[in-house]
């Protein structure tokens, strides 16, 4: 019987600590009802669980979104149903009554007065019926102040010779004049910069950030390198630079729905060195190629000098593409910053006119987020209940002939409104199916997340019992060790 060594009690104590830790861990899981209470329990399982929880939260909200859409459709459908059952049916009755040859015109005048009151009530209903501020029967209540959004991509090109430093600095400092003009007209724009110098052609990517464009222009002006730049071969002379930079800009990644415009800055009234008349023909060919791709070119340069042929070549390109030549400097290349600002304003106005218009989405089309992913949407459409859409703007029953015509007009309005009401009913059914789908998706995601994260209570109880037993065993062993020491002491007495 050995008493000097501590190996036995220490080993037993280690087992007791492990048993205690296991009991605490299992007790925590049982208390929370979860298998994973911290990342260390199951790192990969926790990551999967959090992802599923995100989807579950999303499905919970999409169900509310769908129900909002259903309530919107129900409000619109009931409002339209009331309009059909009350106003339109009454108009049908009055038009048939007025078409009776036994009535005098004075009788029809009295009927016409009621018809006009009903038409006014239809207008009021269409203008006021709404859901959460959204019009339900009035198609364009604010179309008089609505500016359609349009799109344009613009590349500013220039040479980066030393004489252009002040011009390009002024361009960077005043580009906000240009973009503010576009913004005020609801133009969705992107800008890029392209520079030509002895070391080649360099172009920036399109950006909608004014500060980024300013930095790109100044970097190119200083001969620096910009992120995402494109390269071209070094031009042999200014004329080649002029044509090369424009041709390269034409190959930019334009947006399909955007207008295309190139604005070239130069402080040379000829835009070339070593001018020869044949280059006018080259400019004409380039203009034709650009015009074929609907790319418009503006030139911002010097006033014409005493070399008319050179100036003719200078204006050939913009004239051939539908663009404009804007003079912002004297014929000796001395520029004026206010003149440059004015030229930018004029160029922006012309760019606004050129920008490809995109029809404003009909405000009767409401997009609902019915899924948990980007683009997982449903569109619902309500009915245009204005008199113009119903064909009742000029309903007249004041004479026998017009009363006969009114019958057909009212019948047509009833058919149109009934079709709109049926369409909203079909959309309501579609949303009901979408709601059921969202609920099923949420149920399956919840079940999957529960299997990963939640605790099997039976298994947890078994683990807790096991831990308790191990704990009791370790305690018994510790007691036995203490008892052995007591026996050893008795041997000495």
pLDDT digits (tens, 9 = 90+) for 403-443: 999 999 999 999 999 998 998 999 999 999 999 999 999 99
Q: Are 99 and 402 in contact (CB under 8 A)?
A: no
Residue ranges per structural domain of the chain: 52-140+379-445, 150-357
Other Cβ atoms within 10 Å of 80 Cβ, number: 24
66 compared with 40, residue with greater pLDDT: 66
pLDDT digits (tens, 9 = 90+) for 88-124: 999 999 999 999 989 998 999 999 999 999 999 999 9
pLDDT digits (tens, 9 = 90+) for 252-272: 788 888 888 888 887 765 544
pLDDT digits (tens, 9 = 90+) for 335-364: 778 888 888 888 888 888 877 554 443 346
CATH number at 52-140+379-445: 1.20.1330.10
What is the reported pLDDT for 78? 92
Helical (H) or strand (E) element with 74: helix 43-82
The CATH architecture to which 150-357 belongs is: 3-Layer(aba) Sandwich (3.40)
308-335: buried (b, 16+ CB within 10 Å) or exposed (e) per residue? eebbebbbbbbbbbbbbbbbbbeeebeb
Both structure tokens of 10? 């220490």
Q: Are 95 and 407 in contact (CB under 8 A)?
A: yes
pTM of the full predicted structure? 0.49
Would 52-140+379-445 and 150-357 be classified into the same CATH topology?
A: no
Coil, helix or strand at residue 328: strand
Q: Residue 2: which residues within 8 A CB-CB, separation 6 or more?
A: none
Q: Are 392 and 115 in contact (CB under 8 A)?
A: no
Question: Residue 61: which pLDDT band, with cuts at 50, 70 and 90?
Answer: very high
Both structure tokens of 172? 């960077």
Is the pLDDT assigned to residue 299 strictly greater than 70? Answer: yes
pLDDT digits (tens, 9 = 90+) for 146-174: 456 788 999 888 877 677 788 888 899 99
For the chain, the average pLDDT equals 79
């Amino acid at each position: 019987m050995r008493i000097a060594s501590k190996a036995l009690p220490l080993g037993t104590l280690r087992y007791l600590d492990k048993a205690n830790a296991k009991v605490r861990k299992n007790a925590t899981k049982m208390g929370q009802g979860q298998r994973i209470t911290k990342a260390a329990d199951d790192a990969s399982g926790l990551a999967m669980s959090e992802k599923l929880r995100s989807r579950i939260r999303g499905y919970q909200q999409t169900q509310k979104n769908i129900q909002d859409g259903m309530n919107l459709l129900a409000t619109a459908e009931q409002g339209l149903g009331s309009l059909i059952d009350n106003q339109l049916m009454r108009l049908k009755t009055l038009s048939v009554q007025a078409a009776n040859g036994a009535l005098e015109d004075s009788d029809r005048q009295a009927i016409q007065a009621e018809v006009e009151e009903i038409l006014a009530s239809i207008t009021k209903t269409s203008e006021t019926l709404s859901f959460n501020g959204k019009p339900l029967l009035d198609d364009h209540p604010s179309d008089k102040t609505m500016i359609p959004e349009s799109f344009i991509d613009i590349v500013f090109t220039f040479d980066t010779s030393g004489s252009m430093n002040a011009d390009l600095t002024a361009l960077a400092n005043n580009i906000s004049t240009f973009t503010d003009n576009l913004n005020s007209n609801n133009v969705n724009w992107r800008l890029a910069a392209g520079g030509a110098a002895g070391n080649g052609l360099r172009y920036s990517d399109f950006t909608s950030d004014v500060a980024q464009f300013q930095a790109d222009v100044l970097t190119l002006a200083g001969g620096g390198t910009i992120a995402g730049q494109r390269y071209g071969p070094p031009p042999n002379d200014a004329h080649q630079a002029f044509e090369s930079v424009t041709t390269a800009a034409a190959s930019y990644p334009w947006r399909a729905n955007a207008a295309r415009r190139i604005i070239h800055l130069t402080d040379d009234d000829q835009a070339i060195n070593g001018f020869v008349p044949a280059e006018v023909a080259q400019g004409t060919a380039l203009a034709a190629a650009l015009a074929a791709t609907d790319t418009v070119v503006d030139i911002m340069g010097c006033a014409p000098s005493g070399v008319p042929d050179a100036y003719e070549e200078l204006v050939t390109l913009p004239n051939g593409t539908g663009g404009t030549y804007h003079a912002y400097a004297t014929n000796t290349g001395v520029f004026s910053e206010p003149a440059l600002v004015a030229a930018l304003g004029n160029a922006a106005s012309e760019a606004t006119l050129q920008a490809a218009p995109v029809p404003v989405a009909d405000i009767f089309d409401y997009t609902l987020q019915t899924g948990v992913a980007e683009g997982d949407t449903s569109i619902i459409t309500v009915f245009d209940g204005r008199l113009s859409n119903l064909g009742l703007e000029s309903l007249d029953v004041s004479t026998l002939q017009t009363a006969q015509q009114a019958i057909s007009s009212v019948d047509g309005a009833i058919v149109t409104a009934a079709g709109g009401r049926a369409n909203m009913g079909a959309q309501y059914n579609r949303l009901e199916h979408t709601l059921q789908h969202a609920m099923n998706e949420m149920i399956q995601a919840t079940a999957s997340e529960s299997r990963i994260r939640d605790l099997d209570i039976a298994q947890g109880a078994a683990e807790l019992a096991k831990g308790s037993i191990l704990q009791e065993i370790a305690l018994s062993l510790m007691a036995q060790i203490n008892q052995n020491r007591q026996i050893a002491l008795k041997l000495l007495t």
